[in-house]
Amino acid sequence: IVSLLKLQPRRLKIDRQLVIPIVKSPQRRQVVSSIIEIGKSLGIEVVAEGVETMEHAQTLKTLGCDILQGHAFGHALD
């Protein structure tokens, strides 16, 4: 958090290892929610990677995530 205050990034990306379990784990969902809230409170755009299903997408949308990336929307290109 101190690094976020010092660096003042425009975007904060949430790693897929945190995102994938959110549909089955309330604890992980709360962690991701907290990250999103911290980003929002600092005016940082929040990106979630590893959005594999529409259930992931809906959950992240509900939590207030700004940008979603993952196979739910399309496969990676070369």
Per-residue confidence in pLDDT tens, the chain, 78 aa: 898 899 999 999 999 999 999 999 999 999 999 999 999 999 999 999 999 999 999 999 999 999 999 888 877 766
Question: Residue 49 catalytic?
Answer: yes
Q: Which of 37, 45, 49, 52 is catalytic?
A: 49
What pLDDT shows up at residue 9? 95
Output the CA torsion 35→10→67→22 (10° steps). -20
* Residue spans per domain, the chain: 2-68
The residue type at 62: T
Interatomic CA distance for residues 32 and 48, integer angstroms: 9
The whole-model pTM stands at 0.89
Token pair of 69 as six digits: 């990336």
Amino acid identity, position 34: S
Angle of helix 26-41 versus helix 54-63 axis, rounded to 10: 50
